[in-house]
Amino acid sequence: MNVTPLLIIGTCLLAGLLLRRFSSFPDNSADVLNRYVIWIALPALILSTVPSLTLEPTALIPMAVAWIILLVSAFVVIVVSKQLQWANSTRCVLLLLVPLGNTSFVGIPLVSALIGEEGVVYAILYDQLGSFLALSSYGPIVLAIHGDDRVSLKSVGHKIITFPPFIALIVAVLLSFIGMPKNIETAAQSIGATLVPVVMVAVGFQWQFKLPGEDRLPMVFGLVFKLFLAPALAFILLIPFTMDDFIRHTVVLEAGMASMVSAAALAISHGQNPRLASALVGYGILLSLITVPVWFQWLIH
């Protein structure tokens, strides 16, 4: 198993914790770091990955499952949040971090280690056509609805078309037809590679081990749904279909990854309950290193 991505996550998470502990960075550092991610690193990552994707019939499987789980997750979050009368910012964080998983930086290495390289292609499709595409389209809708401004179709549309990752997605799709210049692709890859380290420093900077009482139940709900219920739903959705086991296993494991760090960056940069967002990512990544291998062992037996 390639442990380098996990070492990067752990090191940067710890760095963020220490920087906050020793007051080495200003109090608004997490906000600045997350704005860098949203405006620069994430668009660069989209530009470096999306144009190279090729669509085949089998690509519909991970993409469809990812979007169905997103819709079901969002519906459950809305219902539970309404019933338990959770705050607007709490609902916003859950709508971003429960449907969207860390299906790339943690997901792909885990799939490679547990299933092998044959599963990586489907992990990438799940990530790019599911999680990543949703972040660029679904993400700004959630933020627009939960923002301070009055919600209207015009305001939601404006949020989407001015959202930097969405603009990058449109440009990336166009470049997939005309071709991405190699030097631009290389530059975009280098800039995009800064996304996870910067986000994890920001998450560590915001992470509080002792959450306020009102955030504990939402965190438990988010972790249980993300790590247990979402992969169970993926498994059920795939039962009627005939496919190679490695495809089925890959999709289920991707569905069970921890919350997406970029989704947390979105929530934090817009002031939506940063403590809950950081806790879901931090605790989720640590727990997923146990739950994902357990899911795999269950699938192969």
* Residue 101, SS3 per DSSP: strand
- Domains in the chain, please, with CATH? 10-299 (1.20.1530.20)
Phi, psi (deg, nearest 5) at residue 222: -65, -45
Residue 155: per-residue pLDDT: 64
Greater confidence (144 vs 86) lies with 86
Q: Residue 218, Cα to own-chain centre: how many angstroms?
A: 18
Run of H or E including 5: helix 4-21
**CA R_g for the chain:** 18
CA–CA separation, 227 vs 217, rounded Å? Answer: 15
* Residue 277, SS3 per DSSP: helix
> Among residues 172, 160, 107, 105, which one has the least CA distance to residue 134?
160
Q: Residue 207, Cα to own-chain centre: how many angstroms?
A: 17
Question: Is residue 281 very low, low, confident or very high in pLDDT (cuts 50, 70, 90)?
Answer: confident
| pLDDT reading at 150 higher than 70 | no
Q: Please state whether the predicted TM-score (pTM) of the whole model is above 0.75.
A: yes
* Residue 259, SS3 per DSSP: strand
List the beta strands (DSSP E) in 247-294.
Answer: none
- Residues 80-125 pLDDT 10s: 999 999 999 999 999 999 999 988 767 877 887 788 767 877 887 8
Q: What angle do CA 54, 60, 63 make, to 5 degrees?
A: 95
When mean pLDDT is compared across 125-129, 204-208, 216-220, 227-231, the lowest value belongs to 204-208
Question: Is residue 64 very low, low, confident or very high in pLDDT (cuts 50, 70, 90)?
Answer: very high
Greater confidence (235 vs 20) lies with 235
Q: Residue 263, Cα to own-chain centre: how many angstroms?
A: 5
| pLDDT reading at 71 higher than 90 | yes
Residue 176: per-residue pLDDT: 82
